[in-house]
Amino acid sequence: MPTVAVLGAGTMGSGIAQVAALSGWEAVIYDLRPEFARSQIDRIHAALDKLVERGKLPVDQRNAAAARIRAGGQSADAAGADLLIEAVIEDMSAKVAAITPFVGVLAPTAPIASNTSSLSIGRLAGELRCESRVVGMHFFNPVPLMPLVEVISAPHSDAAMIERTVQAARGWGKTVVRAKDTPGFIVNRVARGYYLESLRLLDEGVAGVDEIDRALRRMGGFRMGPFELMDLIGIDVNYGVSCSVWEQMERPSRLAPHRIQQELAAAGRLGRKSGRGFYLYDAEPPVPAVAVQRRSFDYPPELREAVRRVASAGAAHGAEGSATEEYVFARVLATIINEAALALDSGVAAQGDIDVAMRLGTNYPHGPLEWAERIGRRTCAALLRVMDRMSADGRFAPAAWLTA
């Protein structure tokens, strides 16, 4: 029976252990707090019980999976593991400290995988001094439900280690996309535009929180608007990822974190988990908790025509909207498409993997590059050029793929 050693018993680690155990692997969870690891195993058992109650898991399979999950003791106990997955907090020093005791214990054929969402796999490998064995294995929350895993190769990652990691994820029923070791990989980089450009629209007084969310749901077919989604993820978490990607990408203006998010996080207004973020959650439906300071915006004929072309070709199910709704939708969508195209230009991942990652990792209705093909690459580039001429920071400069 293959074995995975999971470092960290939190939400991600316990989810990974559950998925592995259901797929026939033994999952050993290591945590600095043994009692917490045991309590999380109890929670996994309860989750398996719910699957049985809903008729989604036979009792015998539930019992077999539960028997395959246990808490680990010393790092020496991981000598027989076929794969190690680190799932501790998103901090480089914490990850290095968690993995280091296991490096000399694991068999040389066992990949050392990090579940980081945005930190450098190459830097982690360098600090661990085992550069060929370290790979990225980024799961999405909740792990048992989300089908995507990003497998990330650093400059010195051994091809065999990458392949073993890919095969493990596929064996657990996951869809795998491959990415190079760049900040945010695919999903957390390309998704920045959905949040950041929406924040800029709010700050410019173009539309309110609920109006932007509604425009992107209705015209774009997104399941949740950007402000609803930030509140669900946690404003502190989303802001932290934005900062990490921006810093590692050497602070490009298009990826700059926004002061509104920073101010909300500093004030403890973190979204649903604190009861207040962009929305107030003391009643249903939630009401906007961030006011918009409405201002008129420059909407010359050239911009209006470029917006209309993108909005009409890209809208979900032929949806129509007001001039403001079209502008919100087209501007945010063009930003997402451009970031995906820039990632493609720089070889982060293949075109198909970028589209699959965004559909499965963020529930986008279409992959951004296939969306661009549907609209017309040059139509997208034309809107970006108009917006770039009106912008002072150059953040809309179109990617080469869009102008080819």
Q: Name the β-bridge partners of 27.
A: 4, 69
**282-288 long-range contacts, CB within 8 A, separation 24+:** 288/208, 288/209, 288/210
pLDDT tens profile 301-344? 999 999 999 999 999 988 899 999 999 999 999 999 999 999 99
Residue 297: burial class (beta carbons within 10 Å; 0-12, 13-18, 19+): middle
Q: With bands split at pLDDT 50, 70 and 90, how would you rate the model's confidence at 118?
A: confident
Rounded to an integer, the average pLDDT of 380-385 is 98
- Domain-by-domain residue ranges, the chain? 3-181, 189-403
What architecture is the 189-403 domain classified under in CATH? Orthogonal Bundle (1.10)
Would the CA dihedral through 393, 399, 400, 403 be positive or negative? Answer: negative
Percent of the chain having pLDDT more than 90? 95
Rounded to an integer, the average pLDDT of 95-102 is 97
Rounded to an integer, the average pLDDT of 135-140 is 98
Mean pLDDT of the chain: 96
Rounded to an integer, the average pLDDT of 41-50 is 97
The residues carrying an active-site annotation are 117, 138, 150, 188
CB atoms within 10 A of CB 268: 11
pLDDT tens profile 217-258? 999 999 999 999 999 999 999 999 999 999 999 999 999 999
Query: What is this structure's pTM?
Result: 0.95
Peptide bond into 142 cis (omega under 30): yes
Tokens of 201: 């629209």
How many residues appear in the chain?
404
CATH class of the 3-181 domain in this structure = alpha beta
Cα separation of 259 and 261, whole Å? 5
